Structure 1
């Protein structure tokens, strides 16, 4: 079972990649301008920094759950829902003339979140199959 076998590396790598968003909490001006080619506006500093620390901590807990199995189910569920919403925001704005220009700067985020959501679905499907098979052997 591929997804189950590689869950720990997936959680560590996915967590580290997600944790990278903490840059927005500590260096928001650089992150917005150099990573997203967006203008920095101090009026939104609190929300940018909040988003950065929130997503950065999500990444930390994803990676940490690789080593604390009792955290995995709740962390994976929360991570999936948070990332699925980001995928929704990205795709729902892809064809909007007002926001489509932004999408090119968020491609790395979208790819990361789509990959993590897809892997999570694969892992859950394997877990479902394992439980179903073990119930049939009883």
Structure 2
């Protein structure tokens, strides 16, 4: 039951790391330069800031799910789907010659999201009722 035992610290740490993306909403030029080594194009400011606040708030709600149990399942599900899509984007661009070079700038995000997705799967696997539980009831 390792995943259930450490769920609260996992949600807090994973949420804080995810929340850090909020920097893209505050200062997109610095965030792109410092975190991704990418140049800033002001014509994408709305998209970058929107992504930053959306992912930053996702991190905030992941942290809140550590403390508010009734929020936990929907937030974990949404977080899993959002992060799984990022993993898909990262993986699928690996095979696209026009964008594969960009993957190097997103490795920390991909590693974080893969880790969170795998932990979530472990948590769900542990939480799944076994057939023994059904026979006893």
The bucket for the TM-score relative to the shorter chain is over 0.9
Q: How does 1:1-138 map to 2 (within 5 A)?
A: 1-129=1-129, 132-138=131-137
Runs (4+) off by over 6 Å: none
Query: For the residues of structure 1 that align with 2:30 and 2:117, how far apart are their CA atoms?
Result: 28
Query: Please, what is the CA RMSD of the aligned residues?
Result: 1.0
Query: For the residues of structure 1 that align with 2:113 and 2:36, how far apart are their CA atoms?
Result: 16
- Per-residue deviation, 1:136: 2.9
Query: 5+ residue gaps in structure 2?
Result: none
Query: 5+ residue gaps in structure 1?
Result: none
What TM-score, normalized to structure 1? 0.96
Matched pairs, number:
137
What TM-score, normalized to structure 2? 0.96
- Per-residue deviation, 1:120: 0.4
